[in-house]
Amino acid sequence: MALAAVLTLLAAAALFTGCGTVSPQVPASPAGAPAGTTSSSPATVPSSAAASPEASPSVAGLDGSPSPSATAAPEPPPLDKPTRKHPLRVYFGGDSLSGMPGIMLGQLTQKNGLAKVKTDYVESSRLTYGEPVDWPGHLKQQMSAGHFDVGVFMIGANDSGMPMIAGGDSVMYPKRKWLDEYERRAKQIAAIMLRAGVKRVYWVGMPIMPSSSESKKMRDLNKLFEDVAASSPDIVYVDSYDLLSTRSGDLKASLRSGDGVHYTNDGAMVIAEAVWQQIKKDWGGR
């Protein structure tokens, strides 16, 4: 009997040491302050050197971080449905072509109170060069101050004629190195927003231009922007090229200002409505 009891105790001890429980750690979500009202920020802001947190599945690979696996990315969860009490905090940044659509998006959503839009455009800005604003550094500061739910970005009109340093060489559009480096910089912009807690980035493509040569440049950039969107389930490409074109593929002059590049109020509202419809789709709204 004594021997049997000892054997039983030894078996129980072995079973106990092979078992255990692990309590998962759930990080708390920071409480975000409401976004600011519509504004324009023309000032240059130096790049910040803040360390980036570990890549999440939505940003892995966007700025050089390794992807968690080779499997297809999961579908993103729907956005939380906004209310007047808890509206979406929307950041809309980019060059001068983003300015009027951002302002119009603010006016459009002011009627229903479902979003607060901060428009942050800088005239003559670009991703190829850090003047008049260094977009990565500026954007990090904007994200830190705003605690945004949604990021919208539109840039490119000033870029195709500018050189870039890629792989130690100064290269020009349409060289492959230029295109690859430009796509990398666009991914960096999207990653900065996603790392800061933005739940969805809407990248608005470039519009048709008055000349066929400039329009081709915009189409080439749009292909890169579509590739950026395809790299993460939390980035959505929003077309503006076809929206501002006629059925025959020409520029809709009635939607553009006297220079043929910038928009009339109606043209800017067309883009704003397209962005808003996509945002609503992503929370299941109508």
The count of other CB atoms within 10 Å of the CB of residue 95 is: 23
| Cis previous bond, 174, omega within 30 | yes
Residue with tokens 């968690």: 68
Res 1 pLDDT > 90:
no
Please tell me the predicted confidence (pLDDT) of residue 75: 76
Res 19 pLDDT > 80:
no
Structural domains of the chain, ranges and CATH numbers in brackets:
35-46+55-66+76-283 (3.40.50.1110)
Q: What is the pLDDT of residues 229-243, one digit of tens each?
A: 999 999 999 999 999
Res 51 pLDDT > 80:
no
Tell me the average pLDDT across 75-87.
Answer: 91
Please tell me the predicted confidence (pLDDT) of residue 61: 66
| Cis previous bond, 42, omega within 30 | no
Res 97 pLDDT > 80:
yes
Q: What is the pLDDT of residues 248-276, one digit of tens each?
A: 999 999 999 999 999 999 999 999 999 99
Res 210 pLDDT > 50:
yes
Res 71 pLDDT > 60:
no
Q: Residue 285 — pLDDT band, cuts 50, 70, 90?
A: confident
Q: What is the pTM of this model?
A: 0.78
Tell me the average pLDDT across 46-57.
Answer: 41
CB-CB contact of 32 with 147 (8 Å): yes
